[in-house]
Chain A
Amino acid sequence: MTLFKKILIANRGEIAARLIRACHELNIRAVAVYSEADANALHIRMADESVLIGPPAPRESYLDMDRIIQAAKETNADAIHPGYGFLSENEHFASAVADSGLIFIGPPPNAIRLMGSKTEARTIMQSSGVPIVPGFQSRGDASIALTEFAEAAEKIGYPILVKAAAGGGGKGMRIVRSASELSEAIAAAQREAAHAFGDDRVFLEKYIDSPRHIEFQVLADSHGSTVHLFERECSIQRRHQKIIEETPSPLLTPEMRAKMGEAAVAAAKAVGYVNAGTVEFIVDSKTREFYFLEMNTRLQVEHPITEAITGIDLAQAQINIAAGKHLPFKQTDLHQRGHAIECRVYAEDPANDFLPSIGKVLRAVEPTRAGVRVDAGVHTGDEVSIHYDPMIAKVIAHAETRDAAIRKMDAALAEYTLLGLTTNIPFLRAVITHLAFARGDVTTHFIEDHLRDWNMPKVKDELLIAKAVVEFLGSDHRSITNYQLPANDVWDATDSFRLGAKR
């Protein structure tokens, strides 16, 4: 038994749904919060109770700390789980939750603060012997003069990355290839950072050629035990955001894995980390050197692949750790079993620069297969609006080998129907069935190297036939009975649903 009876989930979308499931599996009641845009959203339908916290704009709802804590008080919740994004890496929120007598399901505020400032984190890692990428960081909070940035950029050498000090998920990040692009990139990064994180500080970092993004999951309890749950390879990215992750990484040898795992545990310990976190490394594919990138002090989007290969439920582990329990395993108890891949389904148009698409989900049909998990944030009838992240679902496939996991993923994606908005599913299939992906030859440049000119597949006749036939039969119900398929078929539905009868 945990000491929690009720947990408030301060998030929305698929992660809120996933966390509500975790609560229910632990026999804990879940309180959801929602903005006016989400009154009918999936997480509201799943929760035991829900509280309206404000208008659609995140600043006025999902980022409103006082209102969320008030909602937790009103509903007598014992703890708040922040999910990812929104307030999950906000040390002030973690402190405010604790100050109000509630438990924050996540790391201590100080660990969030140290790791949340990419610049402080770099300093700490440097002094703990964890390798870091050459870069330039602000001294103090004052905004740095452009000339100082320009000088530093020259010293590091172009291309460089401009990154938000408080950032994550590629937001507020810009690649700058020459000095003439620097000032606008810094301004844009600052704007995006201010908007996304309420903190406009940015820093510069050397841009590594052929980089791979490999991260380690860590879990630490409040009794001094810290373990890692191996790596996740997250090199397939578009616009600096991950779209496909897998574990184990096709690159790592057991020796590299052990070394990086130790570095990840050391990084967590250096800041007194408790709960689930992820230490991200950038690995140079040519030299195989690895560098500390940042630590995400929260549950990651891609946590399910680690759950698949370790058999450990990370969301439940987070709740148990926050309740003061000991980790029930040691490092030597942990093993990687099989291979797992995650594909992120985005409401976006991969043939139009991956720009967001919005709309009502007119029909969602998820794949159902052994070894396939779908964590979706929308079902039939749900709206995808301009207010929130375009990631609407995750498909996770787990199999004995990497090849089998790839095949299983492709079969699952092929079965996933989402009508009403454009999604990246056909693009995800193009990536995982690409020969370079099959070889495990992935870098963060994979998409620009291999799929730059990708276009939506040609429209199959079958789609046109289906649409025309529905219109044809719908306008003449006599034909519904006339064109019945043979009765011994497995097709189940027999009702007289009429589509396209009136347009």
Chain B
Amino acid sequence: MRYVYHVGDEVKIVDVEREGDELRVTVDERVHKVKAQLREGGVTLDVDGKRLTAWVADNWVGIGSAVIALNKADKRKRRAAGKSDHDMLSSAMPGQVRSVLVSEGDQVEKGQTLVLLEAMKMEIKVAAPHAGKVAKVLVIAGQVVERGQQLIEIAH
């Protein structure tokens, strides 16, 4: 069976096959001999003779403090970074929009604060990456936003 995961911008391909009493697992062409036993919340592994306890929940997996979210390939639609004369500014963290300081049509300076976000008692500002015109404002004050959610579009 082939499993394809996204880790950040990387794609990882993992092949799992039976081989006698064991599993043969290939990660990016590296072959590992694996024995495994499912347990509550995870799996106990013997990888090339090394014993490990891994915890798995939804798309998260952890071995001790090494923890990662592995996203399925098909779940993640990455739009190719095409050329555009518009810049979309998105939220770097989950939080709440504290205030929107510009309106559509406004001319803004490079570095000018456009939106104030707040989460966990911390305030961060979203600033204009370059001078330009505010093409779209996609959020309002008080709105809760996710990490990566689009906030403001700026035209060159």
Contact = CB atoms under 8 A, between A and B. Distances in A.
Contacts of A352: 92-93
Contacts of A419: 55-57, 60-62, 67
B139 interface: no
B30 to A, nearest CB: 6
B95 A414 contact: no
A462 B54 contact: yes
Interface string A386-416: 1111100000000000000000000001111
B36 A356 contact: no
Contacts of B47: 461-462, 465
B36 A467 contact: no
A503 B72 CA distance: 10
A500 B56 contact: yes
Interface string B46-61: 1100001111111011
A389 B93 contact: no
A363 to B, nearest CB: 5
A485 interface: yes
Contacts of A500: 56
B92 A425 contact: no
B146 to A, nearest CB: 9
Interface in A183-227: 184, 188, 191-192, 195-196
Interface residues on B, range: 35 or more
Nearest to A482: B21
A484 B43 contact: no
B33 to A, nearest CB: 10
A387 B30 CA distance: 44
A491 B47 CA distance: 15
Contact of A386 (B27, B36, B119): B119
B104 interface: no
Contact of B60 (A195, A365, A420, A472): A420
Interface residues on A, range: 35 or more
A356 B119 contact: yes
Interface string A460-501: 111111111111111100011011110001011111111110
Given A356-B93, A465-B14, A460 B63 contact: yes
A465 B32 contact: yes
A467 B121 contact: no
A485 B57 contact: no
B43 A469 contact: yes
B80 interface: no
Interface string B67-81: 111101000000000
A499 B41 CA distance: 8
Nearest to A188: B123
A133 interface: no
Contacts, number: 209
A475 B3 CA distance: 13
B65 interface: yes
B66 A460 contact: yes
B120 to A, nearest CB: 5
Contacts of B53: 491
Nearest to B1: A472
A356 B45 contact: no
Interface string A130-165: 000000000000000000000000000000000000
A461 B123 CA distance: 37
Given A468-B16, A472-B16, A417 B62 contact: yes
A204 to B, nearest CB: 20
B156 interface: no
B123 A191 contact: yes
B148 to A, nearest CB: 11
Contact of B34 (A467, A469, A496): A469
Contacts of A188: 123, 125
A355 interface: yes
Contact of B37 (A362, A420, A484): A484
B23 A483 contact: yes
Nearest to A170: B122
Contacts of B132: none
B141 interface: no
A358 interface: yes
A192 B57 CA distance: 37
A459 interface: yes
B68 A459 contact: yes
Contacts of B68: 459, 463
B110 to A, nearest CB: 14
A420 B57 contact: yes
Contacts of B14: 464-465, 467-468
B39 interface: yes
Interface centre among A195, A363, A473 (most CB of B within 10 A): A363
Nearest to B70: A467
Contact of B38 (A192, A470, A489): A470
Contacts of B58: 362, 420
Contact of B43 (A365, A390, A460, A470): A470
Given A462-B47, A485-B37, A358 B121 contact: no
Contacts of B70: 463-464, 467
B56 A467 contact: yes
A483 B22 contact: yes
Given A414-B65, A462-B52, 5 more contacts: A355-B119, A355-B124, A466-B43, A475-B1, A495-B39
16 contacts: A363-B41, A363-B60, A365-B62, A417-B62, A419-B55, A461-B32, A463-B66, A466-B61, A466-B63, A469-B43, A470-B61, A473-B36, A480-B37, A485-B36, A493-B39, A495-B40
| 9 smallest beta-carbon distances between A and B, as pairs | A493-B39, A466-B54, A362-B57, A355-B93, A419-B60, A468-B14, A417-B62, A472-B16, A467-B61
